[in-house]
Structure 1
């Protein structure tokens, strides 16, 4: 399946399911090695990171916990420029190593706000693991500890990422085809 239609747009495959799974497994192994003995708390940012978080967690070989937070800055294919907290955190992070799991870091604004928000909980260390990063679109400086793929500023769907709620179930990542 090289081309798919999601709602009113055509998308072409840009990252295969096999390539994604391989890179996620490598990232999980690196995190496990780096955080050995730290009993980290993973925070998956909903909704988009749920597929990445599930695959990443299956590859983590150290004791850990996972929780979910939900922030949003997108409507359709465009960033709204404002970040809204939708679902809060209900677990103590004080003195813990926290790894934020994100599907994509685009402008960096959502992640920046989330990291500031999480500092209130007094973690010992905050790390970021992102499936995708768009370095050409970053509006803020962020330290991203684990990046699976850097991609151009194209709009994408699949592997948890959506277009108005659709396309999350696609096993690969697809880029919009302008035309």
Structure 2
């Protein structure tokens, strides 16, 4: 993707749908939930790259119980705005997770295919428990039976960018969630 100018780049931001302040407020609540549920338990926060890295960074700063972090990478979008339907795990965990309460930190649940494959992969590794926290949930797009344990925001079927979410690897740096103008 090429932009002729910063204004050209900005022209693809249709409108802000979730502000930076709203995100911060909900992250504090999610952190408080983790702290109350897992006090003293071995917690492993697993961020799904690339989209969830900003969410993970802010969320783990709200977690006051002992925790470790790890990263996985998976993709189903290949330079477009529609899921390809094919899930590719491009980076797996190196941890033995059998002694951890694992919390998958996801940026968005859309069709659910990617997360469904990650959950299946991690369940067979016998974690003490396995939960999912997602920043955004788009239930009307779901094609698999999947529900997050904790969703910060439920959104309609918009293609969104910002706060880690991208279009062609751009827009992750926006401090808010915006609708992308195709």
Common fold, TM-score beyond 0.5? Answer: yes
Aligned match of 1:176:
180
Q: So what's the TM-score if we normalise by structure 1?
A: 0.93
1:32: Cα distance to partner? 1.1
Q: Which residue of 1 aligns with 2:139?
A: 135
Conserved? CA contact 2:42–2:99, under 8 Å: no
2:86 pairs with 1:82: yes
Asked if 1:45 is matched to 2:48, the reply is yes
CA distance in 1, matches of 2:27, 2:8: 26
Q: Where does 1:96-107 land on structure 2 (aligned, <5 Å)?
A: 96-107=100-111
Taking the TM superposition and a 5 Å limit, the aligned residue runs for 1:54-93 are 54-75=57-78, 76-93=80-97
Runs (4+) of structure 1 exceeding 2 A deviation are: 4-11
Q: Which moved more, 1:148-157 or 1:87-96?
A: 87-96
Change (3 A) 1:158 1:125: same
Size of the alignment, in residue pairs? 175
Q: Which runs of 5+ in 2 are unaligned?
A: 1-6
Unaligned runs of 5+ in 1: none
Distance 1:125 1:77, change over 3 A: same
Aligned-pair distance for 1:95?
A: 3.1
When normalised by structure 2's length, the TM-score is 0.91
Deviation, 1:140, is 1.4
The offset of 1:6, in angstroms, is 3.8
Q: Secondary structure at the match of 1:82?
A: coil
Structure-2 residue corresponding to 1:148 = 152
> CA shift at 1:63, angstroms?
0.4
Deviation at 1:37, TM superposition (A): 2.1
Q: Which one has the bigger strand percentage?
A: 1
